[in-house]
Amino acid sequence: MPTKVMLVDDHEIIRAGLRRGLQVAGDIELVCEAASGIEAEAAAEKFRPDVITLDIELPDISGLDLIPRIRQKLPECSFVILTMYPETEYLQKALSAGASAFLGKESSLADLISTIRSIAINPRTFISPFTARAFTPQEKLILTSQELRIVSLLVEGETIKGISDLLFISTATTKTHINHIYAKLEAKNRAQAVATALRLGIVAS
């Protein structure tokens, strides 16, 4: 069965380009489009897509806020944030909202199609330019027990001071552990480390 996809973007030109691109993928069926949050909720309930691509900025609601509203009715649906704002602050928000992928609008159609196929098979993955490297199951074991505790607290949004207080260690020691975590996960910052840890299943979302 083809993967049913809905496009949500308030720009008709962007939707038209995506529409044409998805039509060349024989295993993807574009079932509906929407230009606003209200339209998207109604269309999602009617057409029940497997994957929804969402812009962050819609006329009536943020695409990030729309995810949990649609997920209440379609718990198995996967979401791709497709945005012009790929800053790490939005990446963190996308993770928290429950998105399965976070792509910039400069991404190629081939990347989008590949992403849709991947998350249709495994919605628990998280795909973004920051976490593109493939990992093996053995790599889940690379963190020490203390590093695992710190990663869990990073996912929960704790500050360095908060982590230090909870684990009864100095802020300097916490920073050293975090630098080791970044190196092991090949992350440049907290957002990348959190995304990679969630993708690997090191910590639960």
Both tokens assigned to 11: 């720009």
Residues 122 and 178 in one domain: no
The rounded distance, in Å, linking the Cα atoms of 120 and 117 is 5
Q: Tell me the Cα Rg of the chain.
A: 18
Residues 150 and 90 in one domain: no
Domain boundary at 82, 115, 131, which? 131
Residues spanned by the domain of 180:
137-200
The pLDDT value recorded for residue 41 is 97
Residues 171 and 74 in one domain: no
Residues 64 and 142 in one domain: no
| Between 15 and 132, residue with greater pLDDT | 15
Give the CA count within 13 Å in the CB-facing half-sphere of 160. Answer: 11
| CATH number, residue 74 | 3.40.50.2300
| CATH number, residue 158 | 1.10.10.10
What are the angstrom distances between the C-alpha of 39 and each of 43, 46, 84, 94? Answer: 6, 11, 21, 21
Residue pLDDT, tens place only, 11-31: 999 999 999 999 888 899 999
Domain boundary at 92, 111, 131, which? 131
pLDDT at 67 over 90: yes
Number of domains in the chain: 2
Which residues fall within 8 angstroms of residue 75, CB to CB, at 6 or more apart? none
Among candidates 189, 165, 168, 167, which has minimal Cα distance to 178?
Answer: 189
Residues 127 and 154 in one domain: no
The pLDDT value recorded for residue 125 is 62
Model confidence band, residue 110 (pLDDT cutoffs 50, 70, 90): confident
Model confidence band, residue 89 (pLDDT cutoffs 50, 70, 90): low
